[in-house]
Structure 1
């Protein structure tokens, strides 16, 4: 995997695939067997991303200023998600993967993500969070991860800050900087530790796993180093748009600092076919279940 890999955006999903033109994460960097195998691990990264956005928690810092640029037009896709609680939409989330950038002559991927509350919940909570992960194109090893958090309301603590993680894989460490604060924090990490978005990219592109297998993951999101184990199994699940489908479910238990480090469960179901399309993501939180459903995919 290197700079020669390109986004193949011209081929629509086949008619026998559950999600046709509205496939979430139907990104094809290459038609090689290596890339096809990577789709098996796509769901893990999505779970980690959603968990980081909605419950793992962070410390608030004042006077946050916008630092993450908007995604640029070009090769890539934007994937749209709707989160619901008790069947009511509460959040909109998006991810865009870009290729074609470089630093110091090395090809990079950039993954933009956002999560926004819907306006009619403004008196209860307002959320306008942005994330940007930059990673090496050949290995998907994280280079830099920026979090721009802006949220407040009756149902959540006010948070307004910018945090930057700079990864140094060769020395197995990360440097954490907080906008508006002096000094940097240096933290040692296990080998192959990722941020949530670079983990998504890695497990979209990398090795295959099979239902029944346990997948171990090392993740650092700026607050806590997590050693997570995902269990996988086959089962049928009802999709809002496509009825009952055969799917693979990934499930892991983790603590959520927003809820006093109480444990919750993260699950994802994706189609058990060569496309491996996520059809439902579920967070079983101490406050109840939040479900994320595929809405739309946009080009460029």
Structure 2
């Protein structure tokens, strides 16, 4: 699991919402922006429980949304944290901190922070996005370096992608449809593909939930068992929150389940049996 704890969770979660990534939110007319209620809001907090090989508690991750401002413009400050617990923490201690700052109107990031310590593997980076020059400035505080990289005007970071894509329309997906996603991570633009598997009702700790199921295409060999080793279920409602993620790794498997939540912008539709 080295170097792939919270990153693994974030990558596959982000990919699950990417059906409409080619439709820029900035292309929506201003009147539509102001009238449309976002899929999330200030105060949303999600907690996920991670388990290894379906029985060993591996840790927890949380993602929280707060409001802020940048140069007078309304913005969101979103934080993602993960840490190992229990037996896993005894031989592989993890402490991850991801943060993104994104404009409220366009949902584009202007600042990204990544501070991680995963079994002694550490990173301390900050990325500043400049859309006037279409450049990303990567500041590596661990090695005291600063580099600049070309980006597109619609680029997202790994955490902002999740919230940008949660606001796209997933109503017209067809089973088997191939989906593409692009984002800036580790000083380069990363490309992802996944397939829509269809709709499914799954059992959670909260009850039965209508979901959309996806299978991302990942690189087999280093971490994952096969190209199609991941399955993701997201709520089929206006919130579009990830509910369950299963990954078959080279050694064992990793699973993330929604464990707690608060501050959702829309009703969380639970199916109650008669």
Q: Does the alignment reach a TM-score above 0.5?
A: yes
CA distance in 1, matches of 2:247, 2:70: 36
CA distance in 2, matches of 1:294, 1:147: 23
| Residue aligning to 2:137 | 175
Task: Report the 3-state secondary structure (helix = DSSP H, G, I; strand = E; otherwise coil) of the residue aligned with 1:181.
Answer: coil
Q: CA, structure 1 residues 273+147, in 2 after alignment: closer, same or farther (shift >3 Å)?
A: closer
Greater shift, 173-182 or 206-215, is seen at: 206-215
| Residue aligning to 1:13 | none
Q: Name which of 213, 222, 232 aligns with 1:268.
A: 232
Is the CA contact (8 Å cut-off) linking 2:179 and 2:194 kept in structure 1? Answer: yes
Task: Report the 3-state secondary structure (helix = DSSP H, G, I; strand = E; otherwise coil) of the residue aligned with 1:95.
Answer: strand
Q: CA, structure 1 residues 251+191, in 2 after alignment: closer, same or farther (shift >3 Å)?
A: farther
Q: How does 1:253-264 map to 2 (within 5 A)?
A: 253-255=217-219, 259=223, 263=227
| Residue aligning to 1:91 | 59
Is the CA contact (8 Å cut-off) linking 2:57 and 2:86 kept in structure 1? Answer: no
Q: Name which of 167, 170, 176 aligns with 1:205.
A: 167
Is the CA contact (8 Å cut-off) linking 1:34 and 1:205 kept in structure 2? Answer: no
Post-superposition shift, 1:195? 0.7
Greater shift, 272-281 or 213-222, is seen at: 272-281
Whether 1:280 aligns to 2:216 is no
CA distance in 2, matches of 1:258, 1:289: 14
| Residue aligning to 2:46 | 79
Whether 1:122 aligns to 2:89 is yes
Q: CA, structure 1 residues 265+171, in 2 after alignment: closer, same or farther (shift >3 Å)?
A: farther
CA distance in 1, matches of 2:63, 2:232: 16
Is the CA contact (8 Å cut-off) linking 2:58 and 2:89 kept in structure 1? Answer: no
Post-superposition shift, 1:143? 0.5
Post-superposition shift, 1:244? 5.5
| Residue aligning to 1:34 | 36
Q: TM-score, normalised by structure 1?
A: 0.66
Q: CA, structure 1 residues 77+277, in 2 after alignment: closer, same or farther (shift >3 Å)?
A: closer
Point out where structure 1 has 5 or more consecutive residues left out of the alignment. Answer: 1-31, 43-73, 153-157
Is the CA contact (8 Å cut-off) linking 1:230 and 1:251 kept in structure 2? Answer: yes
Point out where structure 2 has 5 or more consecutive residues left out of the alignment. Answer: 1-33, 265-274
Q: Name which of 198, 219, 222 aligns with 1:234.
A: 198
Post-superposition shift, 1:131? 0.7
Greater shift, 168-177 or 288-297, is seen at: 168-177
Is the CA contact (8 Å cut-off) linking 2:125 and 2:142 kept in structure 1? Answer: no
Q: Name which of 243, 253, 259 aligns with 1:295.
A: 259
Whether 1:165 aligns to 2:132 is no
Post-superposition shift, 1:285? 2.9
Post-superposition shift, 1:151? 2.2
CA distance in 2, matches of 1:290, 1:131: 20
User: Which structure has the higher relative contact order (CA within 8 Å, separation 6+)?
Assistant: 1
Is the CA contact (8 Å cut-off) linking 1:234 and 1:246 kept in structure 2? Answer: no
CA distance in 2, matches of 1:260, 1:229: 15
Whether 1:192 aligns to 2:194 is no
Is the CA contact (8 Å cut-off) linking 1:195 and 1:220 kept in structure 2? Answer: yes
Q: CA RMSD in A?
A: 3.0
Post-superposition shift, 1:274? 4.6
| 1:191-210 residue CA offsets vs partner (Å, 9 max, x unmatched) | 41211111111112244452
CA distance in 2, matches of 1:226, 1:297: 30
